[in-house]
């Protein structure tokens, strides 16, 4: 599941617990409000800020890997031309070529490991940014709940029909924009693994 979906699920869980009680609550005249978690992330200043920063970081990370990838591609093509037309025995008999192939394979393995670490770091960074975003939303949402005197907050994704007046997403976004227009996003590092 993508980290964006994880964030939306986490936010949904924050408000969905009330959904179980909603039918009984509605029968008792309880005030219900609804939010659209997707809009919170895509339309709020903080959500847009996170997306911009993550996109920039992703580009930076790809640029870190590109020179190594390009070198490996060039070296791989060069080695391919050197082994074309040779039998396995002929390649094995050429010690210089075997050394080049072994070194290439080692560099390719190291690159694959580095690419995996960079991918994990991006996922950690994205996850932390979304957790911070959720932390910024919570007090704003509670403020809106108090203003509307709501007892239940439901996720728009969980609702089949509702009147537009029940949707407080725009109000939450405006308050979030005023209080938290940006979210700090810094690259999270994978702890170094001890050499084995």
Express each pLDDT in 24-44 by its tens digit: 444 467 899 999 999 999 999
Closest CA to 122 of 30, 52, 36, 54: 54
Residues whose CB falls within 8 Å of the CB of residue 92, separated by 6 or more in sequence, listed in order: 98
User: How far does Cα 110 stand from its chain's mean position?
Assistant: 25
Q: What is the CA radius of gyration of the chain?
A: 26
Taking 70 as the threshold, does the pLDDT of residue 14 lie above it? no
Q: What would the pLDDT profile of 166-193 be if each residue is shown by its tens digit? A: 999 999 999 999 999 999 999 999 887 7
Closest CA to 54 of 149, 183, 190, 163: 183
Query: What CATH code is assigned to 3-179?
Result: 3.30.910.20
Structure tokens at 143: 């403020």
CB-side exposure of 113: number of CA atoms within 13 Å? 8
Burial per residue of 117-126, b for 16 or more beta-carbon CB atoms within 10 angstroms, e otherwise: ebeebbeebb
Rounded distance between C-alpha atoms, residue 103 and residue 153, angstroms: 59
Say if strands 152-155 and 32-35 run parallel, antiparallel, or are unpaired.
Answer: parallel
Average pLDDT, the chain: 87
Average pLDDT over residues 100-113: 96
Q: What would the pLDDT profile of 132-165 be if each residue is shown by its tens digit? A: 999 999 999 999 999 999 999 999 989 888 888 8
Q: What would the pLDDT profile of 40-51 be if each residue is shown by its tens digit? A: 999 999 999 999
- What is the helix (H) or strand (E) element at residue 154, kind and residue range? strand 152-155
Taking 80 as the threshold, does the pLDDT of residue 6 lie above it? no
Whether the CA torsion 160, 162, 166, 171 is positive or negative: it is positive
Average pLDDT over residues 43-66: 97
More confident residue, 64 or 10: 64
More confident residue, 129 or 18: 129
């Amino acid at each position: 599941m993508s980290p964006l979906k994880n964030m939306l699920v986490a936010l949904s869980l924050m408000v969905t617990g009330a959904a179980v009680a909603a039918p009984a609550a509605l029968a008792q005249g309880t005030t219900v409000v609804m939010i659209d978690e997707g809009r919170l992330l895509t339309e709020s200043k903080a959500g847009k800020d996170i997306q911009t920063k993550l996109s920039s970081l992703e580009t930076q990370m790809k640029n870190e890997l590109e020179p190594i990838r390009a070198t490996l591609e060039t070296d791989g093509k060069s080695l391919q031309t050197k082994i074309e037309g040779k039998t396995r025995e002929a390649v094995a008999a050429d010690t210089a070529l075997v050394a080049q192939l072994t070194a290439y394979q080692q560099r390719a393995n190291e690159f694959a490991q580095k690419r995996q670490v960079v991918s994990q770091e991006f996922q950690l960074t994205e996850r932390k940014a979304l957790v911070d975003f959720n932390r910024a939303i919570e007090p704003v949402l509670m403020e809106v709940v108090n203003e509307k005197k709501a007892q239940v907050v439901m996720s728009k994704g969980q609702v089949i029909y509702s009147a537009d007046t029940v949707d407080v997403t725009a109000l939450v976004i405006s308050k979030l924009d005023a209080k938290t227009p940006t979210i700090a996003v810094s690259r999270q590092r994978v702890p170094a693994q001890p050499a084995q």
